[in-house]
Amino acid sequence: MTIWHQTNDARASARLENGAWWLDLEIGTWPIESGQSVLAEAKVSGRSEVDRSILRKASWSHNSGVNSYWSAKLGPFAAGDSVDYSLSAQSPRQKASVGPFQVRIGPKLFLAILWHQHQPSYADRLCATPKGRFLFPWVRLHALRDYYSMASLLERHPKVHLTINLTPVLLRQIEDYVERGFTDRALELTHTPTPELSSEDREELAKTFFDADWHNEIYPHPRYKELFDKRGRGQPLTDADITDLRMWFNLAWFAPEFQRDEVTLPDQTIASVRRFLEKGAGFGEQDIAGMVAEQVKIMRNIVAIHRKLQNAGQIEVSTTPFYHPILPLLHDTDKAVLDRDGTELPTRFSFPEDADAQVGNACAFYFKLFSRPPRGMWPAEGAVGESVVGHFRNHGVRWIATDKGVLARSGEWGYDA
C-alpha cells in the first residue's frame, strides 16, 4: 500500500473561517481496496497555549484511475501556531504512512504587485523634421524588450493577477512612433545606408550602438560580440561591420520570444526576428527595413495586450498624472517644508489648476486607449499629500498608492509604516 501528500494531486491549503484557521488536506492512496481508512495526526505548538494533539479520520473523496483520494480537515488554529502532522493508511491486508509535514499558520500575507512602466518625454523641441523626433531611443527599445513581453508573460500564468501602471507620457511616445511617424537619432542611423553615413555618423554609431547589457545582449550573439571586441581593440569598422552593427544594436533589444519564436500578436499579425538571428551576419538594407517593421508591429500591440488582459480580469491597468509631475509641488511648493523643518524654499510656485489638469488629462487619455476610466493611479515618484487627494477624487480615481518610505515621511509627524 502507498500513501502520498503535498503533491500536485494531493495538496494542503490553509484558510481563514470565522476568525479561525483550518488546514484542508488532500491525500492519495494506492491501490483501490475496500475496507481502507486514512488517519491524520497532528501536534500543535502555540505561542499562548500548551501543546495539544489532534486526531482526525479522513473522508473518502473519490477514485481516479487506480488511486483513491481522501480529505481531512484539521483545526481550529490561531495565527502563529506551528503544526506537525503525519498521515497513515491501512487496509485489511497492509499499512502505510507518510510525514511528518510542518506548517506554520498565518497570518495570511496579502500581496499586491504593481509594475510601474515609465519613460520621460524625450521629444526634441528643436527638431525641424515635420513628423517629430526623440533625442533618445529608450521608449522604442524598452518597448521591444519589456513593455509588450512583461504583459504577455502573464498570459502563460493565468492565475497570476497584478497591476501594471502605464504612464501617459510613455504611451503617448509609443503612439507617436506608431501613428505619427516619429523617429529618434538611433533609428535615423539605423535607417541610413552605410555608404551615406558621414565619418561623424560612423563614429557616433561605434560609440552608441553598444549601449546594451554586455552579458545578456551582446555576448550571447557571436557577431555582435565580434564587433564589440573589435571596437574595444580600437580597430576600424568596415562597411560590412557598420551595416551589421546597425542591425545588431536593434536585434539585441528584442525580447527572447521574438528572437526564438514567431509570436501572434493581439491584432493577429506575427512578429519575429528569428530569421535575422539565424542569418547572423552579412545583412543588407532590406534586412534592416524588415527588422524595423517588426518593431512597429510590437509597438502597435502594446496597448492591445494590456487591454486584452484587463478585459479578461487578469490585470488592472493603472496610470499616473500625465507628464509624471511631482503633484504636491505643482499644487504648492510651500508644502515641501511640511516634514522638513528649516528647508529653504524658492519663490512660491502654486498652480493647483495645473495639478488638476495633469490628473484629468491622464484620465481622458486612458479612456481613449482602454474605453473605460482608470480606477487607480500611481502618483509620480509615489509623491502624495493631503492637498492633492481632491484632484484624484475630482476625476473619479478610486485609489492611489505610494511606498513605505514616502508614507513614513509624510504629514506633519509622519505615519507608522
Residue 12 CB burial class (10 angstroms; 0-12, 13-18, ≥19): middle
In this structure, are 137 and 284 located in the same domain? yes
Question: Measured between alpha carbons, how far is 360 from 390 in angstroms, rounded to an integer?
Answer: 12
Residue 204: other Cβ atoms inside 10 A = 15
Q: Which helix (H) or strand (E) holds 25?
A: strand 20-30
Q: Check if the beta carbon of residue 75 is closer than 8 Å to that of residue 109.
A: no
Establish if 35 belongs to a structural domain: yes
Establish if 414 belongs to a structural domain: no
In this structure, are 344 and 242 located in the same domain? no
Coil/strand/helix, residue 26: strand
- The domain in which residue 34 lies consists of 2-104
Question: Measured between alpha carbons, how far is 31 from 9 in angstroms, rounded to an integer?
Answer: 15
Question: Measured between alpha carbons, how far is 280 from 376 in angstroms, rounded to an integer?
Answer: 45
For the domain that residue 60 is a member of, what is the CATH number? Answer: 2.60.40.10
Question: Measured between alpha carbons, how far is 186 from 212 in angstroms, rounded to an integer?
Answer: 13
In this structure, are 204 and 293 located in the same domain? yes
User: For every one of its 417 residues, what pLDDT tens digit does the chain have, with 9 covering 90 and above?
Assistant: 999 999 989 999 888 888 889 999 999 999 999 999 999 999 998 765 667 889 999 999 999 999 999 999 998 988 888 999 999 999 998 999 998 999 988 776 778 899 999 999 999 877 766 679 999 999 999 999 999 999 999 999 998 999 999 999 999 999 999 999 999 999 999 999 999 999 999 999 999 999 999 999 999 999 999 999 999 999 999 999 999 999 999 999 999 999 999 999 999 999 999 999 999 999 999 999 999 999 999 999 999 999 999 999 999 999 999 999 999 999 999 877 765 667 788 899 999 999 999 999 999 999 999 999 999 999 999 999 889 999 999 999 999 999 888 888 776 667 777
Split into its structural domains, the chain has a count of 3
Cα–Cα nearest to 99, from 11, 30, 8, 6? 6
Phi/psi of residue 398, nearest 5 degrees = -95, -25
In this structure, are 138 and 274 located in the same domain? yes
Establish if 147 belongs to a structural domain: no
Three cell numbers, residue 24: 484542508
DSSP strands (E only) in 224-346: 263-264, 270-271, 315-318
Residues 6+ apart with CB under 8 A from 60: 36, 68, 69, 70
Sign of CA dihedral 39, 45, 46, 48: positive
In this structure, are 208 and 325 located in the same domain? no
Which of 282, 309, 336 is the last residue before a domain boundary?
Answer: 309
